[in-house]
Amino acid sequence: MTDELKRIGEALVAHCRNGTEAEGLAALYAEDAVSVEAMDMGQGREAQGLEAIRGKHAWWESAMEVHESTADGPYPHGPDRFGVIFTADATNRESGERHAMKEIAIYTVRDGKIVREEFFYG
């Protein structure tokens, strides 16, 4: 793991743990970053560009009440990728259903910024 990759991975995890994801997006993501979900949750699987990724975060915050969440990592993979394991206990505001969620996210870094994130969940 390069020093830069370690710094970016640790910063991302810290933002997730501290509830400062918006600051993390601004500091760590490339303007043309792509976010890919494992399945279409009604908005397509891919969000293209930082503004679209911000929109995904806004949707999550408005749709879900998060009771508890964790971010574990980063786990390096070669010179340009790292993984993070996320868990969340959240209630869907519309349906009232509460879910325990777990996912793995793989981040690709290029030129000092996150350019791609991919989420894996069941």
Q: Does residue 109 surpass a pLDDT of 80?
A: yes
Q: Does residue 74 surpass a pLDDT of 90?
A: yes
Q: Which domain holds residue 52?
A: 3-120
Q: How confident is the model at residue 42 (pLDDT cuts 50, 70, 90)?
A: confident
If one counts the domains in the chain, the total is 1
**CATH number for the domain that contains residue 57:** 3.10.450.50
pLDDT for the residue numbered 44:
86
Helix axes 21-28, 3-18, angle to 10 degrees: 160
pTM of the shown model: 0.94
Q: Does residue 1 surpass a pLDDT of 90?
A: no
- Would you say how long the chain is, in residues? 122
Q: How confident is the model at residue 40 (pLDDT cuts 50, 70, 90)?
A: confident
